[in-house]
Amino acid sequence: MYAPEKVVRNDYFNNRYGIDIDTFLREKRNIFERRYMAENQVTSDLIVPAAKDAMRAAGISATDLDLIIVATDTPDYLSPSTAAVVQHKLGATRSGTFDLNSACAGFVTALDVGSKYIQTDSHYRNILVVGAYGMTKFLNWDDYKIASLFADGAGAVILQGSQKKDRGILASQLYTDGQYHDYMGLYAGGTANPLSEKVLQEKGHLLNFAKKIPIETNGTHWPRLIHILLDRTASQISDVSRYFLTQINIQSIHETLDKLGVDRAKSHNIMDRFGYTGSASIPMAIADAASKNLLKDGDLIMLVGSGGGLSMASAAIRWGV
């Protein structure tokens, strides 16, 4: 994983807006601080150090990569892909590339896609899967409730085949409720709303929570998706060692685990140190847990990512190398 060097603590927002935002962030979101990218950094700059760490852990070099999948909704450019930029910066001259955008569900979706490449085509032996987020470039600073949540970062994994049939991605489930597509997102720069001087003046290119998604959405669908995965893997709740859930709202995480009848400590959370990093939050949490030796060979872990669209992606993984 990689988080930029600039640390922004909650008191920054207290001082900027002249009100107590810190108390809400600590008590309701479990956010104490976050990291911001430098003005001269772009999303691919966040990805490269995370990717290098992942390759080092896997014992491979950039020229061993067969495919790079970048999951982000804050790309370097609308076109070409950020994955192509990453390929060049890494020197991964043998790899194919593409970006994937399902907002903050992107990493788990990309992991699902990458696993199917591994399973169906022996040509793909080393796949770099990345979740990356540079949302501070798109924040509307007039809205302190939104601006104070978001941060930047990247998480990366190397996906490889295994001879152990009971290891790896055991099951996955995607879910979308497209009626919410215009509720939150970056709504300029595409064919529906091309960038123009008027759009820029009206801040129409910035992150916009245009409508409020029902508060019960995550607390309803996250447990539902987990139960689907349990059924598909013939597993019980008690078999799951760790949960890695989108890190935007600690209350949604607690609600999910409470509905499952699971100890809240089984969710590995990093938003206290890194704020909300969108599609990067789950791989960053996995990297953090792995670095602390919290993941053991054979552990069953559950991933659930959710974001704008409304898009969700879930995966049951038997941890192993």
pLDDT band at 229 (very low <50, low <70, confident <90, very high): very high
Residues 6+ positions from 158 with CB-CB distance below 8 Å: 54, 55, 57, 58, 60, 126, 127, 128, 129
Q: Rounded mean pLDDT of 146-175?
A: 94
According to the CATH classification, is domain 168-318 in 1.10.1660.10?
Answer: no
Level-2 CATH architecture, domain 6-159: 3-Layer(aba) Sandwich (3.40)
Domains of the chain: which residue ranges? 6-159, 168-318
pLDDT of residue 215: 82
Other Cβ atoms closer than 10 A to 115: 20
36 and 6 Cβ atoms separated by less than 8 Å:
yes
DSSP assignments along 91-131, one per residue: T-TT-EEEEE-BTBTHHHHHHHHHHHHHHH-TT---EEEEE
Other Cβ atoms closer than 10 A to 72: 31
Residue 134 has pLDDT above 90, yes or no: yes
Residue 288 has pLDDT above 80, yes or no: yes
pLDDT band at 210 (very low <50, low <70, confident <90, very high): confident
Q: Distance between CA 122 and CA 151 in Å, rounded?
A: 37
Would you say the CATH fold of 168-318 matches that of 6-159?
yes
Q: Rounded mean pLDDT of 254-264?
A: 96
Give the model confidence (pLDDT) of 175-185 as tens digits. 999 998 988 88
Token digits for 48?
A: 């490269």
Residue 321 has pLDDT above 80, yes or no: no
Give the model confidence (pLDDT) of 195-207 as tens digits. 888 988 889 888 8
pLDDT band at 103 (very low <50, low <70, confident <90, very high): very high
